[in-house]
Amino acid sequence: MTSCVSLSRGRAPARRSLACLPLALASAFGGLALIPLSALAQDATPALPQTVVTANRTPQPLSDLVGDVSIIDRETIERSGATGVADVLARQPGIEITRNGSVGNTTSLFIRGAETRFTAVYLDGVRIDSQTTGGAGWESIPLSQIDRIEVLRGPAAAVYGSDAIGGVIQLFTKRGEEGVSPYAGIGFGSHGLRKIEGGVSGKSGLFDYSFGVAHEESKGFNVQPADKRTPSKDGFTSPDRDGYRSTSGNLKLGFQITPDQRIDATLLQSNIEAGYDPSVSFRTKPPILFKNDVSTNTLRTAGLTWSAKWNDIYSTRVQVTDSQSVYKTQPSFYRTETNLRGYLFQNELRFGPHLVTATLERREDALENAPTTSAKLLSQDRSQNALSLGYGFVQGPHSLQLHVRRDKDSEFGGKTTGSAAYGFAILPSLRFTASAGTAFRVPTLYQRFSEYGIATLRPEDSRNVELGLNYAKDGTTAGIVVYRNRVRDLINFVGTAKGCASAFGCYTNVNRATLQGATLSASQRLGDVTLRASFDVQDPKDADTGNLLARRAKRHGTLGADWRVAGWTLGAEVQASSQRFDDTANTVKLGGYTLLNLSASTQITRDLNLIARIDNVGDKDYQFARLYANGGRSAYLGLKWTPQ
């Protein structure tokens, strides 16, 4: 049986112990953790306080939060040399990705082993989701337009409502600052990769703006070569190169009406066309050769926000958002379109160490799915109304965060979720945290009303507890988070089940899942050298069968170092993962891998920067999904002009 995570978005589905993480990674991480941190921090420069909005949907200093949060800035994104948002996120603690081929093909992201649909994703405050198999279409989000990323690991339904069982990811485009700041960039890489980008941002008086456009294309590689091990049994192949072409643009405008009132408007559009090979298997001898199919992903987002601070205590935010995700294929035609509309009215009271929030929210989902040979046009919609209350307290060594939310779905009725988190500073640099929360996700409209759906599906829900210990002082950080998340009524696609209208099978509530593990992370500055590492030990499994969830490893991690020398920043990074299984029955193995990536960047002139990168230096042959290859060793060279 094919796992639901391997299905093309919304399309009809077709019919030993784990390897250890390489000792080099584990040893290096252990060595970093055993070095006396105070001794290493002698030459470190204190970092400026960082502010995040993702944890509680309101700006707060990172040091005040109890949640497990990571921040990725534009400099980190550019030095990564990555071409997809998911590739950048895969280098963060607690995150894995899978992809059916190259950039532009169906991509899934797992936070702490949770299904890709269990991550709530926002772009400039606009919700992105699919009402087919669920979750954001990561392949359609243009990395070139993203200026900052915030990642919250752990359930957050008491703040965000349905979907946030595994975590929340917020993506932000650039905001204009004082003056005028144009930029332009070009890049070239392996597989015929070419990219060009340009834009301008600035601020004049009460008005600020940011505009950017980008185009990227690649000849690609053959994402599904013949299986060398058993070509006659498993095989089919399309011997062409599966390239992609992406064009995107965004516009962000802001107007400061008064010193205490502001209006923001955002627009983004992205279109990516990618070659792919169908995810089916034919037992033929010799393998059948298929003509290339092409998929097109179009993403549009728009948002309008009015923020007002009425006095030193009370402020409000009113927001209207809209997003549209369209996925279609040719020449084997298929089309699905998801439209989301959101309305938000948030109130904040800040007095002394207290923060009280009260939020009214409405979400409207609509799905239009093209008919197949055995079904009619699927056109469905639904809505959710919600009231959420939050309380935060930060004073001395204590931090407390409480949230409760009531969602009322037009089809499933009411659902209440809550969370409680507490942090205690044992020392100024050492902090203990503990939290517990509940979360849920309602089935997608496709899972209920398509030819493969069951209208009586129940929402998936979860209960999570976690403990953390974090150290931060003078540029040195180290932390461990231990978590356990139990998910009930997990929805999977099964071959046969009671109530299935299709002979191929349908979606149904079939089992429970337990997502448990620990994430270790650390970073250290030694003069001009910055070290960083993360290591995840996890056990995401089907609680009924004891099998590992498909395409998730028990161990994965990264180890990296950046060295500033003679005007250059030189980087080396190791990414490693133990073996996984491609199916829910745990019969088809995907081998583990270790990748070495190298990078170098410098400022050639005052206004011109160069970035060079080689990924997978050892040309490791590995797969995120069975029969789908990755690109092997790849190189990238880019130039960016940013007048000072």
With tokens 């190189």, the residue in question is 635
- Mean pLDDT along residues 349-363: 96
For 405-431, what is each residue's pLDDT tens digit?
A: 999 999 999 999 999 999 999 999 999
- Mean pLDDT along residues 286-296: 69
- Asked if residue 569 has pLDDT above 80, the reply is yes
- Mean pLDDT along residues 447-461: 90
Of 51-65, 90-104, 149-163, the poorest mean pLDDT is in 51-65
Residue 100: the pLDDT is 85
With tokens 């410098």, the residue in question is 602
Indicate the SS3 state at residue 495: coil
Indicate the SS3 state at residue 382: strand
- For 510-530, the three-class secondary structure string (H helix, E strand, C coil) is EEEEEEEEEEEEEEEEECCEE
* Residue 542: burial class (beta carbons within 10 Å; 0-12, 13-18, 19+): buried
Residue 55: the pLDDT is 79
**Confidence bin at 44 (pLDDT 50/70/90):** very low
Residue 276: the pLDDT is 78
For 531-549, what is each residue's pLDDT tens digit?
A: 999 999 999 999 989 999 9
Residue 372: the pLDDT is 57
- Mean pLDDT along residues 242-270: 96
Closest CA to 367 of 132, 119, 122: 132
Largest CA distance in the chain: 75
Which residue did the predictor score with more confidence, 45 or 524?
524
Distance between CA 76 and CA 532 in Å, rounded?
Answer: 13
**Confidence bin at 288 (pLDDT 50/70/90):** low
Q: CB of 64 within 8 A of CB of 56?
A: no
Residue 2: the pLDDT is 37
Of 96-110, 288-302, 625-639, the poorest mean pLDDT is in 288-302
For 2-19, what is each residue's pLDDT tens digit?
A: 334 333 444 434 333 333
* C-alpha separations of 520 from 408, 468, 473, 477, 483 in Å: 38, 10, 17, 11, 12
Of 91-100, 208-217, 623-632, the poorest mean pLDDT is in 623-632
For 369-399, what is each residue's pLDDT tens digit?
A: 887 555 567 889 999 999 999 999 999 999 9
Distance between CA 232 and CA 228 in Å, rounded?
Answer: 9
Distance between CA 332 and CA 327 in Å, rounded?
Answer: 13
**Confidence bin at 39 (pLDDT 50/70/90):** very low
Distance of CA 447 to the CA centre of its chain: 22
Q: CB of 436 within 8 A of CB of 36?
A: no
Residue 628: the pLDDT is 87
Closest CA to 264 of 212, 320, 315: 320
Q: CB of 386 within 8 A of CB of 361?
A: yes
Per-chain mean pLDDT for the chain: 86
For 483-524, what is each residue's pLDDT tens digit?
A: 999 999 999 888 766 667 777 788 988 889 999 999 999 999
Residue 238: the pLDDT is 62
- Asked if residue 235 has pLDDT above 50, the reply is no
- For the chain, which residues make up each domain, given as ranges? 4-46+54-641
Which residue did the predictor score with more confidence, 80 or 577?
577
Residue 47: the pLDDT is 45
Evaluate the omega torsion of the peptide bond into residue 286 and state whether it is cis, within 30 degrees of 0: yes
The class that CATH gives domain 4-46+54-641 is mainly beta
Residue 54: the pLDDT is 79
Distance between CA 509 and CA 487 in Å, rounded?
Answer: 11
Which residue did the predictor score with more confidence, 11 or 404?
404
Residue 52: the pLDDT is 82
Residue 42: the pLDDT is 35
- Mean pLDDT along residues 196-209: 96
Distance between CA 291 and CA 76 in Å, rounded?
Answer: 39
Residue 60: the pLDDT is 81
Distance between CA 336 and CA 165 in Å, rounded?
Answer: 25
Q: CB of 239 within 8 A of CB of 277?
A: no
- Mean pLDDT along residues 322-350: 94
Residue 278: the pLDDT is 62
Closest CA to 590 of 554, 558, 633, 632: 554
Residue 45: the pLDDT is 37
Q: What percent of the chain has pLDDT over 90?
A: 69
**Confidence bin at 613 (pLDDT 50/70/90):** very high
Q: What percent of the chain has pLDDT over 70?
A: 86
Residue 95: the pLDDT is 96
Which residue did the predictor score with more confidence, 354 or 42?
354
* C-alpha separations of 359 from 53, 56, 158, 159, 262 in Å: 15, 11, 11, 9, 19
Strands 126-128 and 460-473, by their bridges, are: unpaired
Tokens of 593: 């891998």
Residue 444: the pLDDT is 94
**Confidence bin at 51 (pLDDT 50/70/90):** confident
- Mean pLDDT along residues 287-304: 82
Tokens of 233: 């049994």
- Asked if residue 237 has pLDDT above 60, the reply is no
- Asked if residue 630 has pLDDT above 80, the reply is yes
Distance of CA 387 to the CA centre of its chain: 26
- Asked if residue 286 has pLDDT above 80, the reply is no
Ramachandran region, residue 135 (left: φ > 0; alpha: ψ -120 to 50; beta: rest): left
Evaluate the omega torsion of the peptide bond into residue 331 and state whether it is cis, within 30 degrees of 0: yes
- Asked if residue 111 has pLDDT above 70, the reply is yes
Residue 34: the pLDDT is 35
